[in-house]
A and B are shown apart, each in its own frame.
Chain A
């Protein structure tokens, strides 16, 4: 499975990349904000998007909205991993069509559970 990791902090991208590799997902690419991520998604045949919310350039929520509005990407599973913990933001992400929402700091176990749950729901 090809996965795109979007976060403005390279350390967070590395952490997520390592955790994903540990879960058996070795095919990952990285982008540092929505503006860089969107063209990659449009040309790259990714099967999962893991994105932060608060980034310079295009933010994660806007990236999510662009993905949902793009007919070729609209069904791409999107997992949001963010430090934003305001209820209205979580609701906004849900309404924008996010498939999973993880708050930072998070554990390897949480990432594993959310991914499994997401794929279960998508297969159902």
Chain B
């Protein structure tokens, strides 16, 4: 912050007024003066940011990098965004197809399970010779029907399993796309580091970064440090039981 912005007669007068307001217990007056002072400070900050931006731009031009950088901002980054959206669509689509196949297979399995259990019971009766001729005729009809539905059911399930198999084809595509985006991010990172060097800015301290972090971390990614986290359900359970759960 430039000293000459704050160190002037006007501000000296303001601080005297502020002192007078506080002594007189005039809270509204004191607040107004503090707001004024804050405004002055903020305006200076904006001017500084503006100046910095201009310097940065000049530095980039001087460095002769701006072709690649403007190419990245105009083309590569929107392109990467589109590609990542495509990854979301593809993975969501795969999950949907898989879930549909599973949801349609489960009732078929349940139906076959029930029928098999019924037939098994009748069959046990038959093997224990507790079944008359009429009962046996009924049983053989049931077995006949069961085998028929089994055959249909299995071919439907096989179709669904095939759907599940085919739904995994996203992995190949999304893997390639994500790799390309990782490369782009690395390139952008490299260029930004160069910019920081040109502008002569000190690299940001770690605690500055902490402050701007989002509160919710989302899924833990192996190798990416995200503070104090648990590494699975067992540790969650341990933590909760230490809290009296």
Contacts of B231 in A (CB 8 A): 85
For A89-101 the 0/1 string (1 means CB < 8 A from B) is 1110010000001
Assess the A15–B99 pair: CB atoms within 8 A: yes
Assess the B102–A101 pair: CB atoms within 8 A: no
Contacts of A14 in B (CB 8 A): 99, 103
CB within 8 Å of A: which B198-222 residues: 216-220
Partner-contacting stretch, out of B3-11, B44-52, B168-176, B232-240: B232-240
| Distance, CA A104 to CA B220, complexed state (A) | 10
Task: Count chain A residues whose beta carbon lies closer than 8 angstroms to a beta carbon of B.
Answer: 24
Assess the A91–B239 pair: CB atoms within 8 A: yes
For B90-114 the 0/1 string (1 means CB < 8 A from A) is 0010011001001100100000000
Give min CB distance, B231 to chain A, whole Å: 8
Assess the B106–A54 pair: CB atoms within 8 A: no
Assess the A87–B228 pair: CB atoms within 8 A: yes
CB within 8 Å of B: which A51-90 residues: 53-54, 59, 83-90
For chain B, give the interface size range.
Answer: 20 to 34
**A54 and B216 in contact (CB under 8 A), knowing A86-B227, A91-B243?**
yes
Can you list 12 A-B contacts (CB < 8 A)?
A11-B92, A11-B96, A14-B99, A15-B99, A54-B218, A84-B217, A86-B227, A86-B229, A87-B228, A94-B240, A94-B243, A103-B230
Contact residues of A with B, CB < 8 Å? 10-11, 14-15, 18, 53-54, 59, 83-91, 94, 101-104, 106, 110
19 additional contacts, CB 8 Å, given A85-B236, A89-B216, A90-B236? Answer: A10-B96, A11-B92, A18-B103, A18-B106, A53-B216, A59-B216, A83-B220, A84-B216, A85-B220, A86-B217, A86-B229, A87-B228, A87-B239, A88-B228, A90-B239, A91-B239, A91-B243, A94-B245, A110-B233
